[in-house]
Amino acid sequence: MRIAQIVTISFLASLVFFLTQTSLAQTQPVFLTSWKAYNFIPPGFSGKSLPLPRGTTVGVAFEILNDGKIIDVSKNNIKFFVNNQKRAEGIGLRGFRFATFDGQPGQTIRMVILNARDEIVYEHRFTIPTTKPEIVINHPYSLNLIDRGFNYFQALPYFFNIERIGDLVFNWTVNGAAPADTAENPDIIELDVPSEFSSGGNIAIQATAQNRVNQLEMALETINLTTR
């Protein structure tokens, strides 16, 4: 799932209310649900972080409205299920955290509110989409045209199960060869295009990022630039 799609999902998610019919109420209660994935996104990213199918901590919370008022469920037993597995239960529990665990392309949340007779009075479910790790090579060159001289490129990782960018291993290639030492800032390369490089020449830059503690979490991107 590309970054532009994530921004769209974030915008749409902020507009959607989830409606659930109950057998004990004459009107439809409105479930206000929220969730947050605790994985890595670059500073300044305006979209919503999506969890990976495995290993991402996700927080879920809800309120129920009826006729514009919050329904008091502080004395009700509440159960939370993720992909049909019970993950949390408690009196008045209006939120919980879990780690994505089964590699499925979505995490379906089901919440059940019970009365004193252990009967379901409210129930709601929704699905949290998952994604893959991504990396974007950030550069200012419109139409992918590059000038001779020094040029800077930064790899921006998204959705890895890490706390800081230093938890990733970066590797770069330029036309298949490793560039000069990038140890100080491994997410950035400085590329010197020599003055004798011909106009219309192709420069292929590839960046990969890999989680230091989980090598299965990896992403790569290649961009093709042309000298002016």
pLDDT tens digits, residue range 8-45? 555 445 444 444 333 344 478 999 999 999 999 999 99
> Which residue's entry shows tokens 């992909």?
83
Q: Which fold has domain 3-129?
A: Immunoglobulin-like (2.60.40)
Within 10 A of 56 (CB to CB), how many other CB atoms are there?
Answer: 24
pLDDT value for 6: 57
The answer to whether 210 and 217 are in contact (CB under 8 A) is: yes
Bridge partner residues of 120 (DSSP):
114
Query: How do the domains of the chain map onto residue ranges?
Result: 3-129, 134-227
**Do 30 and 18 form a contact (C-beta atoms < 8 A)?**
yes
Q: Which fold has domain 134-227?
A: Immunoglobulin-like (2.60.40)
Residues of the chain with pLDDT under 70: 1-26
β-sheet bridge partners, residue 156: 136
Asked whether 62 and 32 are in contact (CB, 8 A), the reply is yes
